[in-house]
């Protein structure tokens, strides 16, 4: 007989259904909370990838020139450079700063060149390369 005491009925009780819904809702909220974090991380990674490509290009130019003709003039010219939004290929970089100093014994022709980037979000990134004429 259906509904007599001691008989087993198939199906879920209201309490079991509510517990399952609470567990499902908790899981969904946890997943939804990850989306803003993921989007922020993606933005930061895109910025770093773009910036790294820009820096590698600039440092390759410096390294290719060596300390020969025009090296010191180029360094003086690029000591500080504010980039206009419409002129830069990288929308994340606001300004660049180049500093250098001789390394090792005097007149050995080895320089440590540091390229600093001021980002639009206010952060600063530094990249260093060694350049020689030997």
Q: Averaged in consecutive runs of 10 residues, what is the pLDDT profile of the chain (134 residues)? A: 59 88 94 89 84 80 68 73 58 78 76 82 83 70
CA distances from 127 to 10, 17, 74, 97 (A): 68, 58, 17, 10
**Closest alpha carbon to 93 in 102, 103, 85:** 85
pTM: 0.56
pLDDT at 86: 46
Distances 95 to 77, 84, 121 between C-alpha atoms, Å? 14, 8, 12
Q: What pLDDT is stored for residue 133 in this prediction?
A: 65
> Where do the structural domains in the chain lie, given as residue ranges?
14-132
Q: What is the pLDDT of residue 57?
A: 82
Task: Note the pLDDT of residue 27.
Answer: 93
Is 70:95 a contact under the CB 8 Å cutoff? no
């Amino acid at each position: 007989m259906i509904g007599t005491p001691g008989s087993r009925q198939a199906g879920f009780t209201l309490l079991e259904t509510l517990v399952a819904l609470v567990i499902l809702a908790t899981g969904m909220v946890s997943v939804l909370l990850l989306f803003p974090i993921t989007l922020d991380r993606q933005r930061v990674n895109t910025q770093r990838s773009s910036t790294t490509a820009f820096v590698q290009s600039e440092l390759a130019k410096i390294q290719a020139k060596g300390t020969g003709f025009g090296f010191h003039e180029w360094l003086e010219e690029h000591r500080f450079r504010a980039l206009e939004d419409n002129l830069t290929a990288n929308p994340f970089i606001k300004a660049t700063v180049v500093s250098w100093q001789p390394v090792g014994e005097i007149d050995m022709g080895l320089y440590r060149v540091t390229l600093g980037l001021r980002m639009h979000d206010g952060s600063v990134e530094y990249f260093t390369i060694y350049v020689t004429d030997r």
